[in-house]
Chain A
């Protein structure tokens, strides 16, 4: 679906926020090369881990003569950020650092990214370009329901919205009843949240008898920070009448606003004047040509606090070079629906959580709120999926509930070919942090 671009003269190459989006390809590549060479030299001089890895390979900054030469450089992985915690990868001196962001650290040691003022501005610029592309303007009221704090979601959209002159409601995640009250009372027109938290808001609205079309002014949803599917977008748009926009970003590279989808929905335009993308084969680590699916790798080419060279995101996608009808020259990537480290091997079968989500969206009585639990036993591993039901689906009759469970099982079985144990649970009962449910609990890893 192409939703109508709002009639305006600001979303064009002449707008100060969007101008770079339309930069002709040739000068863009020249700019990227210039910035890449600068970043490699900067990191080589200041980040010991990067320098030693370059030295091991016999690579020196002056060897980077073309953009393709990037393949000579070593990769950076999340484990490197953990090993170098807290500040081993810092490029700027402490008097230039203005802010830290950290990952939640639910999987062990956290990672820490020191940012300079310049980094914050680059980040804000990316978020502003996304919002402008979505058709959001001064006069819009943005409810930022991403978590604020160490997580980049909240502050990223906050600065992006303020930068455009929007009114920002920094409500953060949680307290769903109040979210709906303030959304109505303040005439909120755009909400930024994880898609799964927005589904929770939709559920609460249903419970209160609030109809988004009738009772709110909400028109835009800005969704990211977790993989989601076309089915989920269709559900959200159908039930609320809002436009569900994609936003992408990650703390290691900056925050939300690294890429976003335009109204033509060809994918997400990457702001590659700051974030240089590559796609690699996650097994051989060789670069793949545009159009092929693989692991997304980013190099920050204008950040100074923590320059990140060839950072492996673990997100699986592909890059497109076809010209987008919107006129932007920035390359487009497919929405992230899977991560290479999301893939589970259960009973010898490859399973992605996004497949479970797609299956659940085919059963109208349940929410795509689920948790996969794998527990080792003496024989076959126990594979369980907990699924939240909607209030409307629950019956007084055991037979109906059992039948619902069978339908959920059938939908999942059709897609993944395995027969998990399905446990139905109450809405809102799966534990959430920053609006995200921990999708997978793999007890096999805790041996």
Chain B
């Protein structure tokens, strides 16, 4: 099961990040989590938001380049070794992770690891065989309330 992440291409200019966040805020879209990948010349802002379709429309209309990508949101216990367990299983099965970031869920009981895989179908099987719990869109929406 995957959820939709939106990513925004940011040229390295002052105020770019503020512009994106303000556009989302004005339209009452909440950011569940984000990760900013940056190089010296540009950045890619990846976000999980309460309403990805509306966010895409708003940001595109504002002139941004927006892409929607399916990613996996895996819940793990928010304790030492929580991530290690999942990472070991993925590594043992030979699943390449393109990138990952994390956030706390339900006030600290759980942590959620967001993964983008090189081979999503294979990863889906590995995660499900290992009994990992992945979140769906509705749970993400609930989390943003």
- The answer on a CB contact under 8 Å between A398 and B11 is no
A401 to B7, CA, bound (A): 12
Query: Which of the 9-residue segments A2-10, A87-95, A421-429, A431-439 touches chain B?
Result: A421-429
Known: A397-B99, A398-B39. A391 touches B65 (CB 8 A): yes
Query: Which of the 9-residue segments B41-49, B75-83, B86-94, B130-138 touches chain A?
Result: B41-49
Known: A425-B11, A426-B11, A429-B11. A398 touches B64 (CB 8 A): no
**Residue in A closest to B37 when the chains form the complex, CB atoms:** A398
Chain B residues near A426: list those with CB within 8 A.
9, 11, 63-65
**Residue in B closest to A422 when the chains form the complex, CB atoms:** B41
Query: Least Cβ distance of B66 to chain A in Å?
Result: 8
Q: Does A395 contact B (CB under 8 A)?
A: yes
- The CB with the most chain A CB atoms within 10 A, among B7, B9, B37, B116, is that of B9
Chain B contact residues: over half helix, strand or loop, or mixed?
A: strand
A107 to B69, CA, bound (A): 45
Tell me the chain B residues, 6-55 only, with Cβ under 8 Å from chain A: 7, 9, 11, 37, 39, 41-42, 44, 46
- The answer on a CB contact under 8 Å between B63 and A428 is yes
Query: Least Cβ distance of A150 to chain B in Å?
Result: 28
A428 to B60, CA, bound (A): 12
Interface string of A44-64 (1 = CB under 8 A from B): 000000000000000000000
Q: Does A394 contact B (CB under 8 A)?
A: yes
- The number of chain A residues with a CB under 8 A from chain B is 19
Chain A residues near B121: list those with CB within 8 A.
none
Q: Does A403 contact B (CB under 8 A)?
A: no
A428 to B69, CA, bound (A): 23
Q: Does A402 contact B (CB under 8 A)?
A: yes
A397 to B7, CA, bound (A): 9
Q: Does A207 contact B (CB under 8 A)?
A: yes
- The answer on a CB contact under 8 Å between A401 and B44 is yes
A394 to B46, CA, bound (A): 12
- The answer on a CB contact under 8 Å between B11 and A396 is no
**Residue in A closest to B118 when the chains form the complex, CB atoms:** A397
Chain B residues near A398: list those with CB within 8 A.
37, 39, 44, 99
- The answer on a CB contact under 8 Å between B42 and A396 is no
A372 to B94, CA, bound (A): 44
Chain B residues near A429: list those with CB within 8 A.
11, 63
Q: Does B98 contact A (CB under 8 A)?
A: yes
- The answer on a CB contact under 8 Å between A427 and B41 is no
Query: Least Cβ distance of B132 to chain A in Å?
Result: 22
- The answer on a CB contact under 8 Å between B42 and A401 is yes
Q: Does A253 contact B (CB under 8 A)?
A: no
Known: A396-B67, A429-B11. A424 touches B99 (CB 8 A): no
A399 to B98, CA, bound (A): 9
Chain A residues near B67: list those with CB within 8 A.
394-396
Q: Does A389 contact B (CB under 8 A)?
A: yes
- The answer on a CB contact under 8 Å between A396 and B5 is yes
**Residue in A closest to B42 when the chains form the complex, CB atoms:** A424
A398 to B45, CA, bound (A): 10
Query: Least Cβ distance of B47 to chain A in Å?
Result: 10
A396 to B41, CA, bound (A): 15
Chain A residues near B64: list those with CB within 8 A.
426
- The answer on a CB contact under 8 Å between A401 and B9 is yes
A298 to B116, CA, bound (A): 61
- The answer on a CB contact under 8 Å between A424 and B11 is yes
List 7 contacting pairs A-B, 8 Å CB cutoff, sorted by A: A396-B5, A401-B44, A402-B39, A424-B11, A424-B41, A425-B11, A429-B63
> Which 6 A-B residue pairings sit nearest by Cβ, starting from the closest?
A396-B7, A394-B9, A394-B65, A396-B69, A425-B11, A398-B37
Given contacts A396-B67, A398-B99, 15 further A-B contacts (CB under 8 A): A389-B65, A391-B60, A394-B7, A394-B67, A395-B7, A398-B39, A398-B44, A401-B9, A405-B41, A423-B42, A424-B41, A426-B65, A427-B63, A427-B65, A429-B63
